[in-house]
């Protein structure tokens, strides 16, 4: 009897989760965004007031383009957005946006030139995530490598006072990473959007008020 009740509870939980995912998936299609992840950025923006008209934004891990589209909309036609991802996308972007097929770990001269000509940036976004293996510690380590590289890029491309948003999967090194951010930003906040799956280990760290590298502070 107990086993049957437990099975029913698990089945009901799976149904609720499927409906939850379908809600954001359908909403994204209705709002003309290629992925549901846009609502995470909207929540982040609402909570921390990240974007202003005329800003320049770098979006790492941009494909399929939802965050890039939202950023381009928020900064307006006088703002600029540079998106980059190792995966390509067929999303159509506004005139204030450039998307580049790029590996953040092996940045091409063309991309470095784009960073120099488009930046410095008011905001650097990173929604990068590794291909999962199913092995918890391997996936966490790969995710942290992406976070560290995103922070390294932010450190050399952000304006003083700029913001940095990065997706982090909770693990043994995430608190160390957060402490490293605190040395570089005036404020560092942790945020889990309601549109994230409840069982997901993802969190977002938001660094506000970039102070520069230690020798520049």
Domain boundaries defined on the chain: 1-30, 35-216
Angstrom distance (rounded) from CA 78 to CA 122 = 13
35-216: CATH number: 3.40.50.150
Residues of the chain with pLDDT under 70: 1-25, 28, 31, 133-134, 197-199
Q: Which residue ranges are tagged as binding site for S-adenosyl-L-methionine?
A: 65, 67, 85, 103, 127
Least Cα distance to 156 among 100, 116, 208, 99 occurs for: 116
State the pLDDT at residue 140.
79
Nearest CA-CA partner of 60 in 155, 160, 167: 167
137: CB partners within 8 A, 6+ apart: 171
Residue 6 has a pLDDT of 33
- Which pTM was predicted? 0.86
pLDDT confidence of residue 10 = 35
pLDDT value at residue 16: 41
As annotated, the active-site residues are: 167
Please give the structure tokens belonging to residue 99. 């998307």
Q: Name 202's Cβ contacts closer than 8 Å, sequence gap at least 6.
A: 129, 167, 168, 169, 170, 192, 196
Known binding-site residue numbers: 65, 67, 85, 103, 127
- Looking at the DSSP bridge assignments, the partners of residue 81 are 57, 97
Q: What is the pLDDT of residue 133?
A: 67
């Amino acid at each position: 009897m107990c086993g049957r009740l437990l099975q029913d509870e698990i089945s009901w939980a799976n149904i609720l989760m499927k409906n939850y995912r379908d809600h954001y998936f359908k909403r994204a299609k209705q709002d003309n965004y290629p992925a549901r992840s846009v609502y995470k950025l909207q929540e982040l923006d609402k909570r921390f007031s990240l974007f202003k008209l005329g800003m320049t934004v770098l979006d790492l891990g941009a494909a399929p383009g939802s965050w890039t589209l939202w950023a381009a909309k928020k900064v307006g036609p006088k703002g600029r957005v540079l998106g980059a991802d190792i995966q390509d996308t067929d999303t159509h972007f506004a005139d204030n946006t450039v998307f580049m097929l790029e590996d953040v770990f092996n940045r091409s001269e063309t991309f470095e030139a784009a960073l120099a000509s488009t930046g410095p940036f008011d905001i650097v976004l990173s929604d990068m995530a590794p291909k999962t293996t199913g092995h918890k510690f391997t996936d966490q380590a790969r995710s942290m490598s992406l976070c560290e590289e995103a922070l390294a890029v932010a450190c050399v491309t952000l304006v003083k006072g700029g913001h940095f948003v990065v997706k982090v999967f909770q693990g043994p090194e995430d608190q160390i990473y957060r402490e490293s951010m605190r040395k570089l930003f005036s404020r560092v906040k942790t945020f889990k959007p309601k549109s994230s799956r409840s069982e997901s280990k993802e969190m977002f760290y938001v660094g506000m008020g970039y102070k520069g590298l230690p020798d520049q502070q």
